[in-house]
Amino acid sequence: MPEFTTWDILYNLILAARWTVVLSILAFICGGIAGLLVLLGRVSPLPWLRRTMNLYIELFQGTPLLMQIFIVFFAFPLMGVETTAWTAAVVALTLFTSAYLAEIWRGCVESVPKGQWEASESLAMSFTEQMRYVILPQALRVAVPPTVGFSVQVIKGTAVTSIIGFVELTKAGTMITNATFQPFLVYGLVGLLYFALCYPLSVYAKRLERTLHVAR
């Protein structure tokens, strides 16, 4: 092994951080779509569907992300499907994200006054029509800040996928540490890179929330 300079380390970490970003974006988009479906079930007029989706949310909010990743990772081969760290990471993070986003959005839907449901109901709208034209447009406004805020949790969540061997920022940090024996420097830089990814989103979420409060 040749000598690593700090720049070499940083450069290699940044290369690996691309995978953190890709995984985060993918999990966020897929999780958002799945989360919308879970949300619709969670607030639907069908009691059994509401209960099922509530159970789904409780399950993912009541167990460690690491366990969810392990279970996905080891469940695929049982169904006869080859699994890689990459697919397991995407699937597990998507499920995780969908449950949390659905729960965040449910709060937003419930913040829409009951009168809006009643008014649209008495105009003979069906549940999907109510959601699409009356409830979701209003819920969306309040949903943006916490949704942006949750994206930070998704990025941080990707770190856990290093444990099943997916090479993203944290895993790269471990590998580089093993090669350089400079854990303080390497993990410090890893933390710094995560901070660089997350902090702008946190600030943006906070600012969005503030403008929302002023507008009210």
Partner 1 sequence: MSLVKLTGIHKSYGDNEVLKGIDLKVNEGQVVALIGRSGSGKSTLLRTINGLERINQGSIEVDGACVDPGQSDLRALRLKVGMVFQQFNLFPHLTAGQNVMLAPVVVKKQSKADVRTIAEEALAKVGLADKFDAYPDQLSGGQQQRVAIARSLAMKPRVMLCDEITSALDPELVNEVLAVVRKLAEEGMTLLLVTHEMRFAREVCDTLVFMHKGRIAEQGAPEEVFTKPATPELAQFIGMVTER
Partner 2 sequence: MAYSFDFPAVFDYTPVLVDGVVLTAALTVVSTVAGVSIGIAGAAARTSGVKALDTAVGVYVEVIRNTPFLVQLFFIFFGLPTLGIRLPEWQAAVLAMVVNLGAYSTEIIRAGIQATPRGLIEAGESLAMTRAEIFRHIVIKPAMKKIWPALSSQIVIVMLGSSVCSQIAAEELTFAANFIQSRNFRPFEVYFVVTALYLGLAVLLRWLLARFGNLVFARRAARA
Residue 31 binds what, of partner 2, partner 1, none (CB under 5 to 8 Å, by partner type)?
Answer: none
Note whether 118 binds partner 1 by CB under 8 A: yes
Residue 124 binds what, of partner 1, partner 2, none (CB under 5 to 8 Å, by partner type)?
Answer: partner 1
Q: Which residue from 123, 192, 196, 203 is in contact with partner 1, where contact means CB under 8 A? A: 123
Q: Locate tokens 């999990």: which residue?
A: 27
Note whether 185 binds partner 1 by CB under 8 A: no
**Considering beta carbons, is residue 130 or 147 the nearer one to partner 2?**
147
Note whether 116 binds partner 1 by CB under 8 A: yes
Closest CA to 70 of 90, 48, 83, 88: 88
**Considering beta carbons, is residue 3 or 122 the nearer one to partner 1?**
122
Note whether 113 binds partner 1 by CB under 8 A: yes
Closest CA to 90 of 39, 148, 25: 25
Note whether 213 binds partner 1 by CB under 8 A: no
**Considering beta carbons, is residue 84 or 126 the nearer one to partner 1?**
126
Beta-carbon contacts of 35 under 8 Å, excluding residues fewer than 6 positions away, are 97, 98, 99, 100, 101, 102, 105
Report the C-alpha gap between 138 and 145 in whole angstroms: 14
In degrees and rounded to multiples of 5, residue 83 shows phi and psi of: -125, 145
Helix %, strand %, coil % for the chain, to 5? 85, 0, 15
Q: Which residue from 2, 79, 115, 184 is in contact with partner 1, where contact means CB under 8 A? A: 115
Report the C-alpha gap between 210 and 216 in whole angstroms: 10
Note whether 46 binds partner 1 by CB under 8 A: no
Residues at the site binding partner 1, with contacts judged by CB under 8 A: 113, 115-116, 118-126, 129, 133-134, 137-138, 141
